Amino acid sequence: MSQTIKTDLCIIGAGSGGLSVAAGAAQLGRKVVLIEKGEMGGDCLNTGCVPSKALIAAASRAHAIRHAQKYGISSADPDIDFAAVMDHVHSAIATIEPNDSQERFERLGVTVLRDHAKFTGPREVEAGGETVTAKHFVIATGSTPFVPPIDGLEETPFLTNETIFNNKTRPEHLIVIGGGPIGAEMAQAHRRLGSNVTIIESGTILNREDHSLVEIVRAQLTQDGVDLIENAKASRVETTDSGVRVTIGARAIDGTHVLVAVGRKPTVDGLNLEAAGVEYDKNGVNTDDRLRTTNSRIYAIGDVAGGRQFTHVAGYHASVIVRNILFKLPSKNKEHLAPRVTYCDPELAQVGLTESDARERYKDVKAAQWCFDENDRAITEKNTHGFVKVVTDNKGRILGAGIVGRNAGDLLAPWILAYSSGLKIKAFTDMIAPYPTRSEAGKRAASAWYTPTLFSNRTRRLVRLLSIFD
């Protein structure tokens, strides 16, 4: 017989955002119920960030072995045990897993229900034969891979990010439909692990990023041997004796596996949001700037809230929720401050506006950059691909910054701080960067912003005038 659980906070979804809210609320002494029908840890731990970066790490080692000669070390064609590579991937998941486990959260005092949740009223949810009533609810159900309406696709076996890491047989030829971050990362990793790879993209790869940065990534993908087919749509997918065939107009490409990576859709099916008075559309649950839904007692965070689909955004949303619900502080969602990174080699990292976006929004925009081929650390590493680029208004206020190159995601950190704090470019010229590091390129980009003014005729005249005081 169903029983009723009364709680302060009921969270639906045990991914990054949901777990962060649950841990924070429980440690602050609130009664918490956490409902998850799938794996604890959600997409990031099980099928997203963690396994993909583990696979990329293995691919990076294979690539380094092939190209060791430039350091005076014999190069070799690495012997790749693809099943063992996938064991490494799952070992990374298993190492992190205890931190997201049901046991850990139960030790924190959270009641964990492992079943599907369905709203039965504005302040009531059913899950696993239990009825949960709460003062507040948080919908944190994430997203799932979007499967495009391509002729024959539903009848053909295909991979998504949710299944590709269970594949222990190296694809002889992986066809990737979609050239966004997931598609580009998985394409390069599989190519470096010995697969032939083709990317099919209806537009251009990584088309939301600064085009000048993308060019560096595109060149490396091509150099690695990834076949890029851009501005082309897959019209049909079908099974063949050797695997799969993807048709693009009059052209057909035969492969052994196909990965669909064209985006993600919010997970709202089966929640019965109508019963709770929660409005939603194809982009996700509708929320205000405090992440409240149309039912003020129910919040939505992470991918399902229809914003930027990143683990770190879901974690940030959790902090907004904690301030709003537990501390009664009117905290607003400012996810436009969130950075994004594509973990290809070289990495592409961006915060704020790209140059083209800035020029559309502002009248006077200045951009400056510094290339890694003029950075001593990059030269010593024989890895000089890429550059740092900063975009400001005419007064030097930072509107955005992008980096393409080795460890770009880590190098972006000071620019994230500067952008979110409203700092001006002068903050970087005042900074003393350690030598020799790649971080010097950021300071040099900031210095380059001042170059036209610093070495102008006007400045020369000023210096000559001041020389009379020598």
Strand 130-139, strand 124-127: pairing: antiparallel
| Structural contact between residues 344 and 219, judged by C-beta atoms closer than 8 angstroms | no
418 & 292 share domain: no
Q: Which token pair is 438?
A: 């790649």
The number of beta carbons lying within 10 Å of the beta carbon of residue 26 is: 21
271 & 287 share domain: yes
215 & 309 share domain: no
What's 385's domain CATH number? 3.30.390.30
Residue whose entry in the numeric block shows the structure tokens 């041997």: 225
205 & 275 share domain: no
- Asked if residue 19 is part of any domain, the answer here is yes
Domains identified in the chain, total number: 3
The residues, any chain, with a CB within 8 Å of residue 278's CB and separated by 6 or more, are: 119, 139, 285, 286, 293, 294, 295, 298, 300
- Asked if residue 398 is part of any domain, the answer here is yes
| Structural contact between residues 253 and 238, judged by C-beta atoms closer than 8 angstroms | no
Instruction: Quote the CA–CA distance of 279 and 291 in Å, as a whole number.
Output: 13
- What is the extent of the structural domain holding 427? 346-450
- Asked if residue 457 is part of any domain, the answer here is no
- Asked if residue 171 is part of any domain, the answer here is yes
274 & 212 share domain: no
- Asked if residue 462 is part of any domain, the answer here is no
273 & 137 share domain: yes
Last residue of a domain, one of 316, 336, 356: 336
- Asked if residue 237 is part of any domain, the answer here is yes
- The whole-number pLDDT of residue 52 equals 98
Scanning 14-151, the segments in alpha helix (DSSP H) are: 16-27, 42-46, 49-66, 82-96, 102-107
42 & 92 share domain: yes
61 & 157 share domain: no
Last residue of a domain, one of 301, 336, 371: 336
- The whole-number pLDDT of residue 464 equals 76
Q: Is 348 helix (H, G, I), strand (E, B) or coil?
A: strand
- Asked if residue 166 is part of any domain, the answer here is yes
pLDDT values of the chain reduced to their tens digit, one per residue, 470 residues: 568 999 999 999 999 999 999 999 999 999 999 999 999 999 999 999 999 999 999 999 999 999 999 999 999 999 999 999 999 999 999 999 999 999 999 999 999 999 999 999 999 999 989 999 999 999 999 999 999 999 999 999 999 999 999 999 999 999 999 999 999 999 999 999 999 999 999 999 999 999 999 999 999 999 999 999 999 999 999 999 999 999 999 999 999 999 999 999 999 999 999 999 999 999 999 999 999 999 999 999 999 999 999 999 999 999 999 999 999 999 999 999 999 999 999 999 999 999 999 999 998 999 999 999 999 999 999 999 999 999 999 999 999 999 999 999 999 999 999 999 999 999 999 999 999 999 999 999 999 999 877 666 776 776 677 788 87
Cα torsion at 241, 247, 252, 257 (round to 10°)?
-50
Last residue of a domain, one of 262, 297, 327: 262
277 & 256 share domain: no
Q: Which of 311, 337, 340 is nearest to 17 (CA)?
A: 311
292 & 402 share domain: no
Backbone phi, then psi, for 282, in 5-degree steps? -65, -20
What's 323's domain CATH number? 3.50.50.60
Instruction: Quote the CA–CA distance of 302 and 291 in Å, as a whole number.
Output: 10
136 & 272 share domain: yes
**422-439 tens-digit pLDDT:** 999 999 999 999 999 999
- The whole-number pLDDT of residue 51 equals 98
140 & 270 share domain: yes
- Asked if residue 456 is part of any domain, the answer here is no
